[in-house]
Amino acid sequence: MRDLRLDQLRTFTEVIARGSFSAAAERLRLTQPAVSLQVRQLERRLGVRLIERVGKRATPTAAGMELLDHAQRIGAAVSSALEGMARHAGGTLGRVRIGTGATACIYLLPPLLRDLRRRFPSLEITVRTGNTAEVLKALEENALDLGLVTLPAPGRMFEVTPLLDDPFVAIAPADGEDWPAVVTPAVLARRPLVLYEAGGNTRRVVDQWFARAGIALTPVMDLGNVEAIKELVGAGLGCAVLPGIAVRDAGTGIPILSRPLAPRLHRKLALVLRRDKILTQGLRETVKALRRLS
């Protein structure tokens, strides 16, 4: 066991995480025969079979399950050692790459990131915006470290922690006609609508809300920027349905008013990580900060 190789352990965990040798090979940028060879060498070294096929999927044997647990702890220990040496070498806390939607990026993250920067000046944080599908794909490819997305967030490789229940509201020009205290799909259907662009979970839940009322929408505009939608509504060009966090602070200079919806409509924001993601100190601190949103 003295010559156990870290590259073989990593290959083994990637095969299990992705369910196939070919997918692991693509992720590791190796050939499939090279991946198969590394797993066979590891099995010969340990004297046990680690992986078996169930249908088309590669799954761990009982021995493989036990090794997987050890491999994750070994990986965490190696990462911690490298992180400690990096801090000594460069005086930095590491880098955290966050993926989220534009609305959360504008209205939720700034105070949280400001606090992290104040407490950990050497922590490098980057943020990429996109819809849930785009963020999950980047997490799967390890191009991002964590995601703050609208549920659902499918995928067996992900650990999903619901954080925040965000109710939607209707917004209208402040100088327009009087609105009821609670707005229904029928009320909105009689007015021009400016909605968030199609393709993401936020727009999907709005479309489903109208569909449950038997209303098929044809919005006058689809935009990907929440602030642009608010400006157009304030200019009298239509009404909109937006996440509540986007209009939480009244008196921002845009002449709009907001009303709750009936039936109630909301979305769930969740923290998403790969299950096999090694938590560096910087990533641990960022995850703790995000979990305080719940």
For 89-98, the pLDDT digits (tens) are 555 567 899 9
Q: Give me the CATH code for the 165-266 domain, please.
A: 3.40.190.290
Catalogue the long-range contacts made by 9-12 (C-beta closer than 8 Å, 24 or more residues apart).
Answer: 9/42, 9/67, 9/71, 9/74, 9/75, 10/71, 10/75, 11/35, 11/38, 11/39, 11/42, 12/38, 12/39, 12/42, 12/50, 12/51, 12/64, 12/67, 12/68, 12/71
- What percentage of the chain has pLDDT greater than the value 70? 95
State the Cα–Cα distance between residues 123 and 202, nearest whole angstrom.
31
Which of the two residues, 57 and 4, has the higher pLDDT score?
57
Span 116-145, average pLDDT:
92
CATH fold group of domain 6-88: Arc Repressor Mutant, subunit A (1.10.10)
- Work out the mean pLDDT of the chain and round it to a whole number: 88
Span 1-26, average pLDDT:
86
Task: Kindly indicate the confidence band of residue 88, based on its pLDDT and cuts at 50, 70 and 90.
Answer: low
CATH H superfamily, domain 92-163+269-291: Periplasmic binding protein-like II (3.40.190.10)
Write down the pLDDT at residue 2: 56
81, pLDDT greater than 90? no
State the Cα–Cα distance between residues 260 and 60, nearest whole angstrom.
50
Asked if the domains at 6-88 and 92-163+269-291 fall in one CATH topology, the answer is no
Range from 20-24, 44-48, 76-80 carrying the lowest mean pLDDT: 76-80
Least Cα distance to 272 among 157, 112, 140, 159 occurs for 159
Question: What is the enclosing helix (H) or strand (E) of 196?
Answer: strand 194-196
Which of the two residues, 225 and 193, has the higher pLDDT score?
193
Write down the pLDDT at residue 243: 92
Q: What are the residue ranges spanned by the domains of the chain? A: 6-88, 92-163+269-291, 165-266
What is the rounded end-to-end Cα distance, in angstroms, of the chain? 44
Span 74-95, average pLDDT:
72
Q: What radius of gyration do the chain's Cα atoms show? A: 24
Range from 1-10, 141-150, 181-190 carrying the lowest mean pLDDT: 1-10
Give per-residue pLDDT as tens, 238-255.
Answer: 999 999 998 876 546 788
Write down the pLDDT at residue 3: 74
Task: Kindly indicate the confidence band of residue 224, based on its pLDDT and cuts at 50, 70 and 90.
Answer: confident
- What percentage of the chain has pLDDT greater than the value 90? 54
Write down the pLDDT at residue 89: 59
1, pLDDT greater than 50? no
Contact 153, 105 (CB under 8 A): no
